[in-house]
Amino acid sequence: MSPDLITRWPVQSLVVAALVLVCTLYSTWRLLPVGRRLRLVEWLLPAAQRTGSGWPAQLHASLRSRALKACGGGCCGSDGVSARPGAPARTRSAGAPRR
């Protein structure tokens, strides 16, 4: 083995390990449901606020609005009117056979 290869190998291993760690964290974050992401950000928010950074609060607000949209708004979110005017009522599932 050449001396150059021996000195580059540890650096290359550290870069690969860092990339694998970042990709694992990113894919875990993307696969988490919005509610769990929100809980995780709420758990980390006090520590981030002590550093004086403003982005955790923005992330929290964004996730909170996304979670509220995902839950449908409860009883107030639907007044029985279809989203598209003139759209047929959805009385049967798309895969149900016709009689």
The pLDDT-based confidence of 90 (bands split at 50, 70, 90) is: low
The pTM for the full model equals 0.50
Tokens 């009883």, located at residue: 75
35: number of Cβ within 10 Å: 13
In the chain, how many domains are there?
A: 2
pLDDT at site 77: 47
Query: Residue 84 carries which DSSP code?
Result: S
Question: 58 and 38 in one domain?
Answer: yes
Mean pLDDT of the chain: 74
Distance CA 62, CA 45 (A): 13
Could you report the per-residue pLDDT of 7-52, keeping only the tens digit for each?
Answer: 667 888 999 999 999 999 999 988 988 888 888 888 877 777 777 7
- Domain of residue 3, residue span: 1-31
Q: Is 51 a domain residue?
A: yes
pLDDT at site 98: 65
Distance CA 65, CA 73 (A): 11
CB-based contacts of 45, cutoff 8 Å, min separation 6: 56, 57, 60
Question: 62 and 39 in one domain?
Answer: yes
Question: 49 and 27 in one domain?
Answer: no
Task: Determine what percent of the chain falls in helix, strand and coil, rounding each to the nearest 5.
Answer: 70, 0, 30
| Cβ atoms 17, 9 nearer than 8 A | no
Tokens 């021996």, located at residue: 6
What average pLDDT does this structure show over 71-97?
Answer: 57
Q: Is 52 a domain residue?
A: yes
